[in-house]
Structure 1
């Protein structure tokens, strides 16, 4: 676990997660379509506060939502759908989690970036049904007209060095021989309206921009910089964001 990954155990980061845009509804339609085996049980790895697990639970037989951060899990339990009877939470790294399969689908959001892939896949593959798929789902705002100005602000304050915007976690997993990719899809773009103040808090939910990583004066300077970057595009303090998700799915493997 890197120092940046550990920021997801901070209560302030877990609280800020509520300001991340929700996944488009189309994501869950596609996930359900990818389940072909029985029982219709799902394993959500790196579940965070359940942005995937909570909306999916009513549509399947069961979801195990596993995350190493207790504050994230506790936040998820308090958010809409967090107490659904089909949803079981577990605080644990996935490579040592108590799994209750077989699972007909495994879902992973952006948090798969932080996982030890070989150990993770060695843990989950024995618990899958014959046709189970692993789906990696990435989502967020796209085509932000203030993007260039925002990047300048982020680069001044980010704790993550040498960020590669072209890095693909799915390609990296495939290169390790851990995923036989079957398909990819992008959802239709949807509009999500968000207050500028909440947009800023969403940025603070990331590992490299967490408030607890910044002195108070730096956090204030970051907030002011973001506010200035987006101000020309806000109406009454609200931004219109365009949200898109990309799904990549295939059969997870264990290298011989």
Structure 2
């Protein structure tokens, strides 16, 4: 196919923006999904000559109606979908488990886990029934899909659950050439990780500055995964700042 179609959630900043720009730079047509239309338009503006292939769509991934509207629009406009990067996510300030409000827990679960499920489900429906059949879904798991930070029970729980989502999608997608993988990212330099430069609580309780790396390398990794033929898969890939302490976390 001369045209390849992708959806990137959380495309208004950080890792999502880097992934969307990498795909656009490689000739993909990309739906930029996120809650803030102005941020999505900013991502589109950064695409340069590829901006005509960027489609900003204001979307709340935790809202089933919003997700349905996004994928119904793309199916009608494009007729197919080749790639989904489930990247959108959220967190709450670190704190003791006993102080975590139910509403904050539920919000993190709704965005990180339910949002990833809703988008994967909608993509699966399109990919299963299109011709040629199939496509690829990549979920953003994070280093927190492997090991927790202190006081992070909501975020860490959802990211561990995303790994289960990834594995099940990979299994259930086999008969339909729908391939699923996961990227686990540690300390990419984004607005979400800006606090790393001021110090992050370690397992010992002390605060330490942690190194970061340019998010464009996440974008190039996503592009590599997206461009694989459907008979090959990177099931899990971990990309981190080389000197971040996650190997020794605990």
What TM-score comes out, normalization by structure 1 length? 0.47
Higher RCO (CA 8 Å, separation ≥ 6 residues): 1
What TM-score comes out, normalization by structure 2 length? 0.48
Larger C-alpha radius of gyration, 1 or 2? 1
